[in-house]
Amino acid sequence: MRELPPTAGLPLPLPELFGARGGFSRAAQDYVGAPYAGLACSGTASLVLILTALRRLSGCRTVIVPAYTCPLVALAVAHCGLRLRLCDLAADSLDFDMKALAAMCDEDTLAIMPTHLAGRVARVAPVLRLARERGVFVIEDAAQSFGARRGGQSVGLEGDAGFFSFAAGKGLSLYEGGLWVTRDPALAAAIERAQDDIIKRDAWREFRRCLELAAYALFYRPAFLPWVYGMPLRRALKKGNLPSAVGDIFSPEILLHHVGGWRQGAGRRALSRLQAFHQQTADQAMRRLAVLDRLPGVLVFRDMEDEEGTWPCLMLCLPDQDRRNRTLGVLWGAGLGVTRMFIHALPDYGYLRSCVPQDACPNARDLAARSLTITNSLWLDDTGFARVTDALEQVA
Ligand SMILES: *Cc1c(COP(=O)(O)O)cnc(C)c1O
């Protein structure tokens, strides 16, 4: 029995867990070329630090995020005592509907968060233009896109601040980790102050994270993934509990603690292999995009001329929800790494009702209804990929 992961995580050879400690924070900062950066215990924690800093610099209290994004973003905004607004996406796009964004941005807007989903490079420039006119900050959510670039520059550095995630399933993993980045020295100082105020040492949590990272290194391989990923997935699908099938249900409690030297050492060694890994996954993605392009009615999200995204998965849209569901009826749970990104637009998660407004978001709902993802793990060989394209072709 074999099971493929839903994204192309960088596998961790066990010996790499041992060796000199520390150094990941600096190495990750150099990797993206950020003038200022800091390591945090998750992408969410990085966002909490950025929001805490901005909240102290401004009287504004509203944060605008895409209506289709990670539920943790909504929880982070609530954690910081800020008000959330949801902006719809443009049709058949991962970018904001700019007209809706311009209409929504008002005197109370503190920040707008363009989001680089699935390794793709979001269009930050128009958001930045609008934000500059209105005196609003731009935070790039690059949690899924560490290593992605536009015009040779890393994502996360075009706006005022940005953050990355090193959670399991997001490429390079510390099991949990995050990096905030900025080019602005004053903002960097404010984020560092927030860090000193709210990040605590927590030896017990860190010890658990070390065990989790070791378990991740051990089990992240096709022979063991049925136990840690495939079986829980199929159980949730059988119960019809889709949000828990894809891991969309999070606790509102956000952990804020330091990342220890042992995990940092492992991360630093993994980072030295990341560029070559991204090259391999990009090559595989290019070959497979060409195959998917020949299928009728399949829209695959891809890069523009000057963009070099990363390829954790291929995210695609089918013509309608019925065809998407029939495709997943064949492929979801088949062990081939085909799944969905987030199940719902943010207003449609029952457990987020208290912190998410019911803003209109037809395009975000449409994306949730018509999209699916195919893993770009190097373990998905051409035979496996042909099974995926056969199913897509049959349903089309
Ligand atoms: C995963 C994710 C986050 C949060 O990152 P964590 O490291 O899991 O806390 C934020 N935004 C997006 C788009 C994500 O996918």
Average pLDDT for the chain: 97
Phi/psi of residue 339, each to 5°? -160, -160
Q: What was the pLDDT predicted at 1?
A: 82
Mean pLDDT, to the nearest integer, of 190-195?
98
Q: What was the pLDDT predicted at 226?
A: 96
Confidence class of residue 136 from pLDDT cuts 50, 70 and 90? Answer: very high
| % pLDDT > 70, the chain | 100
Structure tokens at 102: 């311009």
Mean pLDDT, to the nearest integer, of 158-171?
97
* First-to-last C-alpha distance (Å) of the chain: 29
Q: What was the pLDDT predicted at 385?
A: 98
pLDDT per residue as tens digits for the range 346-381:
999 999 999 999 999 999 999 999 999 999 999 999
- What is the pTM (predicted TM-score) of this model? 0.98
Distance 162 CA to ligand 1 centre (A): 12
pLDDT at 223 over 90: yes
Confidence class of residue 311 from pLDDT cuts 50, 70 and 90? Answer: very high
Return the ligand 1 atom nearest residue 178 CA: 7
Mean pLDDT, to the nearest integer, of 326-344?
97
Q: What was the pLDDT predicted at 335?
A: 97
Return the ligand 1 atom nearest residue 42 CA: 7
Mean pLDDT, to the nearest integer, of 158-183?
97
174 and 263 in contact (C-beta within 8 Å)? yes
Q: What was the pLDDT predicted at 199?
A: 97
Residue 311: partners with Cβ closer than 8 Å, 6 or more residues away:
8, 119, 278, 281, 282, 284, 285, 376
pLDDT at 396 over 90: no
Name the least confident of 125-129, 138-142, 294-298, 371-375. 294-298
pLDDT at 254 over 90: yes
Mean pLDDT, to the nearest integer, of 313-329?
97
pLDDT per residue as tens digits for the range 66-83:
999 999 999 999 999 999
Confidence class of residue 47 from pLDDT cuts 50, 70 and 90? Answer: very high
pLDDT per residue as tens digits for the range 84-110:
999 999 999 999 999 999 999 999 999
Our answer on whether the CB atom of 7 is closer than 6 Å to any ligand 1 atom is: no
Which contiguous run of DSSP H or E holds residue 139? strand 137-141
Mean pLDDT, to the nearest integer, of 57-62?
97
Distance 386 CA to ligand 1 centre (A): 31
Q: What was the pLDDT predicted at 270?
A: 98
DSSP letter (8 states) at residue 14: G
Confidence class of residue 143 from pLDDT cuts 50, 70 and 90? Answer: very high
Return the ligand 1 atom nearest residue 166 CA: 7
Strand, helix or coil for residue 4: coil
Q: How many residues does the chain have?
A: 396
Residue indicated by tokens 């309608």: 320
Mean pLDDT, to the nearest integer, of 257-284?
98
Q: What was the pLDDT predicted at 79?
A: 98
Closest CA to 52 of 32, 70, 27, 79: 79
22 and 265 in contact (C-beta within 8 Å)? yes
Distance 49 CA to ligand 1 centre (A): 14
- Kindly write down the DSSP assignment for every residue of 37-62, as one continuous string: EEEESSHHHHHHHHHHHHHHH-S--E
Phi/psi of residue 335, each to 5°? 85, 5
Our answer on whether the CB atom of 72 is closer than 6 Å to any ligand 1 atom is: yes
Our answer on whether the CB atom of 265 is closer than 6 Å to any ligand 1 atom is: no
Q: Give the residue ranges of DSSP H helices in 33-173.
A: 43-57, 71-79, 98-104, 125-134
Mean pLDDT, to the nearest integer, of 206-221?
97
CA distances for 100 relative to 71, 116, 123, 346, angstroms: 21, 19, 15, 17
The amino acid at 7? T
